[in-house]
Structure 1
Amino acid sequence: MTARLARPHHKPGARAVRDVLGLVLLPVPLVAVAMAGAFAGGGTRRWFGGGRGESQRADAQAAKDAAAAAFYELDTAQRDLRISIETISAVDSTPAARQAVDGFAALGRRIDEVSHTYITAVDAHDLDRDDLEASAAAQARTELSKAKDELVKVKGELDRFAQGLGPLLDKAETQLARLAPAVERARQALLAASTALDAVRGSGLRADDLAARLAALGPELTKLNEGAGRHGVPETLQRADRVLRDAEAVRTEADRLPERAAEIDKRLVSLRTRAQALTTRAEQVDPVLSELRRRFTAACWQDLQPVPEQAALSVRRAEEKLKEAGKAREEQRWPDATALLSTVRALLNSTDEAVSAAGDRLQRLNAVAKDPQQEIERTRFAIRDAQRLAMAGRHTPDPRHARPLDDAVGRLERAVEGLEGRHPDYWHFLLEMEAVRRTAAHVVEQIREERGAGH
């Protein structure tokens, strides 16, 4: 960093790190000592000797003044750079940041060395002595000039080091700029969540789970208030983001809680009505099974025998879960009520499917018993369509496509032959037709995928 960039009035971010983090710069007591020595000897000084001696004394004094100025510039640059390093180390814990801190410490030791050399040179020569000899003045000038050159050299090293901190310092100052707004947003989110929770409770809803979640954020708010100087900037930013996210979630759920309660009430009524309707429908399964047993072979209906008992059991379980859900609603245990209602819905869905299966089975068996030809033609069409696609652009079909289609033809023929008996198994016939059509559809899909990939 150049001396211009190192000056405090060009570094709002450096000043911000002291304001935000409460950092205090360490004093550099050498300055007071050195400057006192550099500019000592006020008042009227007597000059003796004249001529060459006075010239040597003047040259030595000029060298001393130049060294003092170089020392002051180095000290000022070091102070400014220390602010930048403290900014970086407070925000950044990456290897690059640690390397910068170590590099500054090494430079500090180098500065101590040249400062000690300078102070030693100043203390070794009293240029105000009346009996100062020309040789002593010349030696003083030499040592002070050398000390000044070393100070200037180290100042250059410090400036080059500072220039290399640009990206790290920009990153640190960017995070510092985010810090105060992030903390403030988190506080406002907590306030909004608390206000929303108070409004919900005012409407008669307890919202105990939301209150517990909001209370759990209290320690996090305490740490935010303690500041980044204690907990670090990255950790404070992460904490602020986390508090913001969690508080907004609480507020959103609190705002939606009245709607959620109304929705649960509506679902309770709807599912009770549906359970009652299913009870009535389940009672109609026995007459359907009776007709199936009277008109068709056992293979067509025996898998449906347990349906009435299973349906009644499922409806009873659903009604029990509905009572539990109603109790959870009264106690305002919203997650429990929601989970129980989902269980009720699943039970009623499976019962509905089982009850519907009996009526659907009778309808399909009646249709195929009256006219099996329609089912046969539908299946043959699916096979022929797959065969045409398999032969498109070819003289002979691919065995991977031809073989399953040939098997499907044989399966169709055997199923049709099975209808010739006195008591045909129509359900087996329907299942075979579905299986053959699935085979044909699979071949069609396979051919299209292969040709699409080849294209």
Structure 2
Amino acid sequence: MTSHGTRRWGWGAGRGDGGRAEAQAAKDAAATAFYELDTAQRDLRISIETISAVDDSPAARKVVSDFTALGRRIDEVSAEYITAVDAHDLDRVDLDPGTAARARTELQQATNRLEKVRADLNHFAHNLGPLLEKAETQLARLAPSVERARQALLAASNALDAVRDKGYRADELAARLARLAPELTKLNQGAGVHGVQETIRRAMDMQREAETLRAEAEQLPRRAEDLDKRLGSLRTRAQALATRAERVPPVLSELRRRFASPSWQDLQPVPEQAQRAVREAEGKIGEAARARAEQRWADATALLGTARALLNNTDEAVTAAQDRLRRLNEVQANHQADVDRTRFAIRDAQRLAMAGRDRPDPRHAAPLDAAVERLDRAVEGLVGRHPDYWHFLMELDAVRDTAAHVVQEIRSERGSGAR
């Protein structure tokens, strides 16, 4: 007898609830797999964007391409998962066991495909290590590089203001600083517009130029002081050289009176050349002084360099005339001292050439024998009322040069042999 108002539960209904639970578990597992894949993809996309922002190498471009291909696979399996979920309403009251079983199977298959793609994605991410590390290193340099550039630019601007407050115009430095303004604009636009590597390069260039500007601005007062000292020094030197140049004509007069013409002919133009060079140098010094007053530092420096070169050349010519007379006086009083000094140089070279040998190497003996003959001819040439002492001195200088060259050659060869 059956009680009124009650239902009989068959074994099929219990089995249906079990199928529903299994299908729901498969759905939950698929949802978890979908979430984990989506999270992994989003995390990896950040890494890819980091690499592509910094690195434009073929390897980096291939990584971006491969990630795009993976993204298409992810879209495919995600669509399959969504289709499987939408195809079955597991909350339906009349869900039959067959439908639940199909739902479970389709959802398990979707889970497997999601997990397979996630495994491939993880493997892909693992292989990104070197490229990602390089990119992150570049990114880590970005902010500090930009900040250093800005600070260097500020320091340069402050240094320029400081020297201007002291009365220096520093127009050239100001113009160079102004040329950095467009670069600063691009720097402020950031890596998103110009790329990480280009932004780092721009920051480093700006920092370097700004530091150079700051140093030059800070050195400007000292540079002006140095120019003032050089102006005074060169003025004094020009005056002293003009006085020395006035002594050259008497020196030439004495050379003409006491020595053969080859001893002084090459010095004849020296007085006129010296006076002209000193006047030209004084003109350059005056121009440099005006450039200094107008704060044209580069022009002033160049003009002083020209003046110094003129004075150096003139000094050498004036000194040569005075030294000529001194040397001729010495050789006229005792030419044998020069002969003895020269013979000693030849003998010293000959002893070295014979050291450790029965006979000298012809390569060394020949020039030394020729030097002996040249010395003898020079001595024999000292004849007449006014011997050509200058030719004599030049010949002896050449003989000593030959002996010195042979000595250097022998020592070089023996040094190479010892090694």
Q: If the TM-score is normalised by the length of the shorter chain, which range does it land in? A: over 0.9
Map Cα deviations across residues 106-147 of structure 1 (whole Å, 9 max, x no partner). Answer: 211111121122222222233333443333322222222111
Deviation at 1:49, TM superposition (A): 4.6
Distance (Å, rounded) in 2 between the aligned partners of 1:422 and 1:372: 15
Number of the residue aligned with 1:434:
397
Q: Secondary structure at the match of 1:419?
A: coil
| Two-structure CA RMSD over aligned residues (Å) | 1.6
Distance (Å, rounded) in 2 between the aligned partners of 1:325 and 1:297: 44
- What is the one-letter code of the residue matched to 1:105? T
Aligned partner of 1:92 among 48, 55, 74: 55
Q: Is the 8 A contact 2:142 2:196 kept in 1?
A: yes
- What is the one-letter code of the residue matched to 1:83? I
Which segment drifts farther, 298-307 or 407-416? 407-416
Distance (Å, rounded) in 2 between the aligned partners of 1:103 and 1:413: 91
Deviation at 1:407, TM superposition (A): 1.3
Deviation at 1:421, TM superposition (A): 3.8
Deviation at 1:100, TM superposition (A): 1.8
- What is the one-letter code of the residue matched to 1:120? T
Distance (Å, rounded) in 2 between the aligned partners of 1:335 and 1:48: 106
Q: Is the 8 A contact 1:282 1:355 kept in 2?
A: yes
Deviation at 1:361, TM superposition (A): 0.2
Q: Does 1:330 align with 2:293?
A: yes
Number of the residue aligned with 2:158:
195
Aligned partner of 1:262 among 225, 243, 249: 225
Q: Is the 8 A contact 2:258 2:386 kept in 1?
A: no
Number of the residue aligned with 1:395:
358
Number of the residue aligned with 2:169:
206
Aligned partner of 2:374 among 400, 411, 427: 411
Aligned partner of 1:445 among 393, 408, 416: 408
Q: Does 1:180 align with 2:167?
A: no
Structure 1 gaps, min length 5? 1-46
Q: Does 1:370 align with 2:333?
A: yes
Deviation at 1:48, TM superposition (A): 10
- How many equivalent pairs are there? 409
Deviation at 1:402, TM superposition (A): 1.4
- What is the one-letter code of the residue matched to 2:64? V
1:34-53 aligned at under 5 Å gives the runs 49-53=12-16
Structure 1 segments (4+ residues) deviating >4 Å: none
Distance (Å, rounded) in 1 between the aligned partners of 2:119 and 2:152: 49
TM-score of the aligned structures, taking structure 2 as reference length? 0.94
Number of the residue aligned with 2:215:
252
Q: Is the 8 A contact 1:48 1:54 kept in 2?
A: no
Deviation at 1:189, TM superposition (A): 1.2
Which segment drifts farther, 280-289 or 89-98? 89-98
Which segment drifts farther, 136-145 or 345-354? 136-145
Map Cα deviations across residues 403-431 of structure 1 (whole Å, 9 max, x no partner). Answer: 11111111111111111344321111111
Map Cα deviations across residues 265-285 of structure 1 (whole Å, 9 max, x no partner). Answer: 111111111111111111111
Q: Is the 8 A contact 2:285 2:307 kept in 1?
A: yes
Identity %: 72
Distance (Å, rounded) in 2 between the aligned partners of 1:390 and 1:49: 123
1:7-406 aligned at under 5 Å gives the runs 49-406=12-369
Which segment drifts farther, 354-363 or 131-140? 131-140
Which segment drifts farther, 112-121 or 358-367? 112-121
Deviation at 1:81, TM superposition (A): 0.7
Distance (Å, rounded) in 2 between the aligned partners of 1:442 and 1:269: 44
